[in-house]
Amino acid sequence: MISFLLRRTGLMIVILFLVSVIVFALVNVLPGDPALLILGQEATDESLRALRAEMGLDQPLVVQYFVWVGDLLQGDFGQSFRNNTEVSSLLIQKIPVTLQLTVMSFAVAILIAIPAGIISATRKGTLWDSSATVFALSGVSLPPFWLGILLIFIFAVTLGWFPPSGYVSLTENVGLSLWYMLLPAVALGVRLSAELTRMLRSSLLEVLESDFIRTGYAKGLLEKSVVFGHALRNSIIPVITVSGLQFATFLGGTVITEEIFNIPGLGQLLVQSILTRDFPVVQGAVMFMAFAVIFINFTIDIVYSILDPRIKLTGGSN
C-alpha cells in the first residue's frame, strides 16, 4: 500500500507539472494584452510599460512560468486582472456552487440508474428491459445543453413549476436553493444515468451468470438476497469507475449548463475569464480542475481495494 501511494503521488506531481506547462503556454498564446485590458484603450505607452513591469510581463516566459509555479506552491493563485480580487477567493466562492450542482446531478443519476439497471438485468428480455435500453440509448444521445433548454421551455416557461434560471445559496434558503438547482441537475444527471444504467445492466448480467450466483439460488436464497447481497456488490465496480471520473469531469464540465441556467459556478467563471482575457483566473481554475480529476482517480483506486480485495494496488486501476 505504501509503495502504491508513493508511486501515485509521484505520478500526480508529474501530471500536474505537465498540465501547468500546457496551461501556461496556451494562456500566453491567447491574443490580448492584460495591461491594456486593465488600463483601457486610452492608456499611454509609458503607463502600459510600467504596469507590465509591475505584473512581471516584461520578463521572459520561462521566468514568468517559474514565478507563477512558485506562487502556486505557496497557495498564491495571483490576482484577477478584471477586478483585482484574489483568484483563490474567487475559486472559494464558485467551487461550492459547482459542487452543489455536481452532487445533485449525481443524486439524480444514481436514483435513476441503479433501479433501472437492476430491473433491466433481472428482467432480461421483458418490456422492462426494453424500456431501460431505450432510455439508456436516448439519454446518451441527448446533449445536456439541449435537454436543459427543453426542460426550461416545458417546466419553467410553459408550466411555470420551476424558475428558468438563477441561483439561491444554500446558506440563504436550503429549500429554495434545491428548487432552483433541480432542473440543471436533471439536465446533467439524465445523461450520466443513461450511461450508468447501460453499464450496470451489462456488468450485472455477467455476474448473474457466475457459478456462485447459481449456488446461491440452489441453496434457496431469495432473489432479493442474491441480487443485492452478492451480485450487485461484484458488479458495481465499473459503475464506480465511471461515476468517479464523471464526478471529476462535472466539476469543470458544467460550463454550458451553468451558462444556460445562469448559475454562478466555476464553469461560468471560466467562460467569463476567457472572454475577458483574465489569465490568472483561467490558470487557477484549470489547475484546480486538473487536481480534482487526478485526486479523484487516486481515490477510485483506493475504493477498488475496499470493494474487491482481489484487486491489487500496483500503481493503476485494472
Confidence label for 224 from pLDDT (cuts 50, 70 and 90): low
- Residue 282 near residue 273 (C-beta atoms within 8 A): yes
124-133: long-range contacts, CB 8 A cutoff, minimum separation 24: 124/205, 129/201, 132/197, 132/201, 133/198, 133/201
Pair (68, 96) in one structural domain:
no
pLDDT score recorded for residue 179:
92
Pair (144, 198) in one structural domain:
yes
Over range 150-170, report the average pLDDT: 88
Has residue 239 got a pLDDT over 70?
yes
d(CA 228, CA 202): 16
Pair (300, 193) in one structural domain:
yes
CA angle 108/153/260 to nearest 5° reads 65
For residue 227, is it within any domain?
yes
Last residue of one domain, picked from the residues 73, 98, 124: 73
Which residues have C-beta within 8 Å of that of residue 112, sequence separation ≥ 6?
Answer: 189, 190, 193, 197
pLDDT score recorded for residue 315:
44
d(CA 263, CA 96): 11
For residue 95, is it within any domain?
yes
pTM: 0.77
Instruction: Reduce the DSSP state of residue 50 to 3 states and report it.
Output: helix
pLDDT score recorded for residue 318:
40
Has residue 157 got a pLDDT over 70?
yes
Has residue 221 got a pLDDT over 70?
no
Segment 68-115, tens digit of pLDDT: 888 888 888 888 877 778 888 888 888 888 888 888 988 888 888 888
Over range 277-281, report the average pLDDT: 82
pLDDT score recorded for residue 194:
82
For residue 51, is it within any domain?
yes
Segment 286-295, tens digit of pLDDT: 888 888 878 8
pLDDT score recorded for residue 202:
80
Domain that holds residue 63: 2-73
Output the domain CATH number for residue 147: 1.10.3720.10
Q: What percent of the chain has pLDDT over 90?
A: 2
User: Over 105-133, what HEC string results?
Assistant: HHHHHHHHHHHHHHHHHHCCCCHHHHHHH
